[in-house]
């Protein structure tokens, strides 16, 4: 038997088929654009997701598709799809980078069990209730992205704790907060019932089976948020296991057997299994480095890496990477970035090097918040490493030095998609919780921290400059 994982990401949809031992046998993906019809908006029409699913499925080997016996789902977190009683989307999906609801966060007050960001489903739905009442009058369901997709394929209408707890409308356990939902003017009946991420939730219908080149009747697992799926796919299953992902943003995830205490600037979410995870979520990793590469006129990444790591580090030049605000640990959506300390003799290599260090220091700020507040299980001296933005060995070494942690590259290029497939296998009884440790992919030590006093001085300067300039944002 084979298991298909579907990962509905922000900019692309990924498919992976894994075998009975959890090994990837086939992979395909298709990209789509995030649209910005107005400054600060981030949307995608659901038709783009559907077309990407069709295109990616067409690239999978037919013989592997014939053996698929279950499908699991991973999805970008926080966003929302507004749908009618037939699961027809009433407007484009609203996504996590969206900031239009920034002025509507007052309803949540402080402190909250989890930090509230404008791109979460709660604030976005509040914005819709105020600004698009005609759409909301037709609404039957307010679904997370992966839940809309599963339902469109024939699955039951439901969601899982890992996604629900990240909407700003539920307790950390994922249970809907009925009082808060009513207080901000939303309807409780819009929100799907809860089910475990690994539960069966319907079967693939005939139309969807034809679209995917699969047989009808395949079991559909509920699925989980992409961070929870990436942790599962990367082999995090024990208390204190930690993962660093670097993509457009960055996440540091630390598993916990018990519910983590509430800490300002950090998230405590449900995992794809019956565990929890502590997370520091940094918005400005790949997105900041890509912007810098463009500003400095590098045509490709190899030349940018070469210039940056050939340049001697500058004790004067510091780059604050907060080009789109920041979540962990600062929770400052107004934060902005740039270089400080530039002189006439500095080169673009100096500036690119400072950008890499600035991003590494931003990740360190999130990790320090975990280390300082999350208990003995979060000492975090080793991080599993995933994400396409962490391949270059010089960048990995800088990360290890800045984070003061060993980095182990996970032998799993598509962790969230693999995690989704594993949920499908659990839904049909092929795997159980006791099997998860044995399913963990291998990991190779790729970088260890070196005592670097000069880097420590530059890190201290970075923190000082952010704190002194925060009042300007």
The series of mean pLDDT values per 10 residues for the chain, 473 residues long, is 96 95 96 91 96 97 96 95 96 93 88 83 97 96 98 97 95 93 95 97 97 96 94 90 88 88 85 91 91 96 96 94 90 90 95 97 95 69 80 94 94 91 97 90 93 94 89 65
- Give the count of beta carbons closer than 10 Å to the beta carbon of residue 169: 27
Q: What is the pLDDT of residue 120?
A: 94
Q: Quick one: 79 and 138 in the same domain? A: yes
pLDDT at position 473:
59
Tell me, yes or no, whether 223 and 242 share the same domain.
no
Kindly state whether residue 150 falls inside one of the protein's structural domains. yes
Domain containing 247 equals 235-411+442-473
Q: What is the CATH number of the domain that holds 98?
A: 3.30.420.40
Same-domain status, 44 and 127: yes
Say yes or no: 23 and 65 in one domain.
yes
φ, ψ for residue 182, nearest 5 deg: -70, -40
Q: 450 with 401: CB under 8 angstroms?
A: yes
Q: Are strands 242-246 and 250-256 parallel, antiparallel or unpaired?
A: antiparallel
- Do 323 and 399 lie in one domain? The reply is yes
Q: What is the 3-state secondary structure (H, E, C) of the chain?
A: CEEEEEEECCCEEEEEEECCCCCEEEEEEEECCCECCCCCCCEECHHHHHHHHHHHHCCCCHHHHHCEEEEEEEECCCCEEEECCCCCECCCEECCCCCCCHHHHHHHCCCCCCCCCCCCHHHHHHHHHHHCHHHHHCCCEEECHHHHHHHHCCECCCECHHHHCCCCCECCCCCECHHHHHHCCCCHHHCCCECCCCCEEEECCHHHHHHHCCCCCCEEECCEEHHHHHHHHCCCCCCCCEEEEECCCEEEEEEECCCCCCCCCCEEEECCCCCEEEEEEECCCHHHHHHHHHHCCCCCHHHHHHHHHHCCCCCCCEEECCECEECCCCCECCCCCEEECCCCCCCHHHHHHHHHHHHHHHHHHHHHHHHHHCCHHHCCCEEEEECCCCCCHHHHHHHHHHHCCEEEEECCCCHHHHHHHHHHHHHCCCCCHHHHHHHCCCEEEEECCCCCHHHHHHHHHHHHHHHHHHHHC
Is 390 a domain residue?
yes
Q: How many domains does the chain have?
A: 2
In a domain, 423, yes or no: no
8 and 137 in a single domain? The answer is yes
Q: Do 299 and 171 lie in a common domain? A: no
204 touches 153 (CB < 8 A): yes
In a domain, 434, yes or no: no
Assign residue 128 a region: left if phi > 0, alpha if psi is -120 to 50, beta otherwise? alpha
Cα 413 to Cα 18: distance, rounded to the nearest angstrom:
13
Q: Which of 185, 207, 227 is the last residue of a domain?
A: 227
Structural domain includes residue 21: yes
User: Residue 31 forms beta bridges with which residues?
Assistant: 12
* pLDDT in the model for residue 57: 97
For the entire predicted model, the pTM comes to 0.88
How far apart CA 244 and CA 229 sit, in angstroms, is 13
Both 214 and 318 in one domain: the answer is: no
Q: Yes or no: say if 313 and 458 are a contact pair by the CB < 8 Å rule.
A: yes
Do 253 and 220 fall within a single domain? no
Do the domain assignments include residue 424? no
Residues 336 and 275 in one domain: yes
What span, in angstroms and rounded, lies between the C-alpha atoms of 366 and 265?
8
> Does 74 map to a domain?
yes
Residue 435 domain-assigned (yes or no): no
- 385, β-bridge pairs: 244, 409
Domain shared by 188 and 326, yes or no: no
Residues 35, 73 within the same domain: yes
Q: Which of 227, 253, 271 is the last residue of a domain?
A: 227
| Residue that finishes a domain, picked among 167, 197, 227 | 227
């Amino acid at each position: 038997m084979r298991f298909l994982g579907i990962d509905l990401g922000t900019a692309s949809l990924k498919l992976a088929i894994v075998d009975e031992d959890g090994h990837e046998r086939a992979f395909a993906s298709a990209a789509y654009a995030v649209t910005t019809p107005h400054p600060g908006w981030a949307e995608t029409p659901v038709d783009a997701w559907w077309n990407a699913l069709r295109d990616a499925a067409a690239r999978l080997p037919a013989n592997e598709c014939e053996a698929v016996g279950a499908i699991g789902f991973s999805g970008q977190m926080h966003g929302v799809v507004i749908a009618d009683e037939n699961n027809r989307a009433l407007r484009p999906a609203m996504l996590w980078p969206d900031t239009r609801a920034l002025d509507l966060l007052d309803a949540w007050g402080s402190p909250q069990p989890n930090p509230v960001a404008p791109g979460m489903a709660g604030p976005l739905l509040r914005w819709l209730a105020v600004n698009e009442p005609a759409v909301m009058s037709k609404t039957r369901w307010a679904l997370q992205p992966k839940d809309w997709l599963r339902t469109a394929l024939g699955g039951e209408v439901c969601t899982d704790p890992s996604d629900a707890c990240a909407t700003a409308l539920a307790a950390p356990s994922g249970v809907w907060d009925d009082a808060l939902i009513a207080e901000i003017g939303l309807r409780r009946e819009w929100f799907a019932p809860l089910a475990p991420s690994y539960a069966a939730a319907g079967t693939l219908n005939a139309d969807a089976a034809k679209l995917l080149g699969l047989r009808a009747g395949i079991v559909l697992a509920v699925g989980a948020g992409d961070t929870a799926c990436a942790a599962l796919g990367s082999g995090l299953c024990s208390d204190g296991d930690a993962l660093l992902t670097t993509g457009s943003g960055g996440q540091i995830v630390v598993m916990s057997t018990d519910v983590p205490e509430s800490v300002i600037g950090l998230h405590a979410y449900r995992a794809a299994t019956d565990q929890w995870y502590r997370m520091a979520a940094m918005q400005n990793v790949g997105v900041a480095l890509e912007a810098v590469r463009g500003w400095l006129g590098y045509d490709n990444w190899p030349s940018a890496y070469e210039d940056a790591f050939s340049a001697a580090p500058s004790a004067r030049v510091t780059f604050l990477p907060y080009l789109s605000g920041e979540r962990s640990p600062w929770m400052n959506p107004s934060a902005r970035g740039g270089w400080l300390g530039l002189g006439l003799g500095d080169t673009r290599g100096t500036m690119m090097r400072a950008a890499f260090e600035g991003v590494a220091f931003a990740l360190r700020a999130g990790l320090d918040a975990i280390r300082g507040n999350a208990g003995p299980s979060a000492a975090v001296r080793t991080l599993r490493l995933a994400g396409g933005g962490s391949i270059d060995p010089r960048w990995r070494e800088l990360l290890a030095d800045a984070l003061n942690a060993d980095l182990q590259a996970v032998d799993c290029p598509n962790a969230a998609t693999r995690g989704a497939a594993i949920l499908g296998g659990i839904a049909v009884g092929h795997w159980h919780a006791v099997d998860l440790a044995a399913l963990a992919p291998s990991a190779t030590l790729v970088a260890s921290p070196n005592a670097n006093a000069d880097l420590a001085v530059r890190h201290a300067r970075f923190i000082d400059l952010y704190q002194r300039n925060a009042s300007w944002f």
